[in-house]
């Protein structure tokens, strides 16, 4: 088998696994969802913005709009394939790591890094309002350069 054949076989196997994952989550595995999902999940755990994933899709010659990227990311989030991390009003990251964890945010840059959930002790939370329950707690620790 030629190295290029192996790469094509690996990509086809990854696409098949992703189709199964989408179907298990209740999403139809459309060509665009599979293509964007392969870009998104094919690089391990990571944090992306819709704009970053759109840039990757354009670089890979995928005919997709930014609106489709946003819709796909929100659909993946709604079925539990991604976590949405809103760090401020204008910046939203999508996290492929859906396990319990928190984040460091580099404020004057473009970095979001995982903190294992066991490293942060979240205690003494107030009781939620009647009829509500706490779904999860996201801790974002904001970092800036130490000028001292």
Instruction: Measure the CA–CA gap between 105 and 40, rounded to whole angstroms.
Output: 20
Q: Which CATH number fits domain 3-86: 2.130.10.10, 1.10.10.10, 3.40.50.150, 3.40.50.720?
A: 1.10.10.10
pLDDT of residue 12: 83
Is residue 98 pLDDT above 70, yes or no? yes
- Sequence ranges of the domains in the chain: 3-86, 98-143
**pLDDT above 80 for 20:** yes
Whether pLDDT at 28 is above 90: yes
Q: pLDDT-based confidence at 27, cuts 50/70/90? A: very high
Position 73 pLDDT exceeds 80: yes
Which of 17-21, 88-92, 138-142 shows the lowest per-residue confidence on average (mean pLDDT)? Answer: 88-92
Model pTM score? 0.84
pLDDT of amino acid 97: 94
Q: How far, in Å, CA of 148 to CA of 141, rounded? A: 19
- What pLDDT shows up at residue 148? 73
d(CA 54, CA 35): 12
- pLDDT confidence of residue 7: 54
Q: Are 57 and 6 in contact (CB under 8 A)?
A: no
**What does the pLDDT average to over 34-45?**
92
């Amino acid at each position: 088998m030629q190295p290029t054949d192996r790469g094509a076989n690996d990509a086809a196997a990854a696409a098949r696994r992703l189709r199964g994952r989408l179907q298990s989550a209740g999403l139809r595995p459309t060509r665009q969802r599979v293509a964007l999902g392969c870009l998104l999940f094919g690089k391990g755990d990571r944090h992306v913005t819709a704009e970053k994933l759109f840039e990757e899709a354009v670089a890979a010659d995928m005919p997709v709009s930014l609106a489709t990227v946003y819709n796909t990311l929100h659909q993946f989030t709604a079925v539990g394939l991604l976590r949405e991390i809103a760090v401020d009003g204008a910046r939203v990251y999508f996290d492929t790591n859906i396990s319990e964890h928190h984040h460091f945010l580099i404020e004057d840059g473009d970095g979001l890094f995982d903190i294992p959930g066991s490293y942060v002790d979240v205690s003494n939370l107030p009781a939620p309002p009647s009829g509500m329950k706490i779904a999860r707690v996201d801790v974002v620790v904001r970092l800036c350069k130490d000028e001292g």
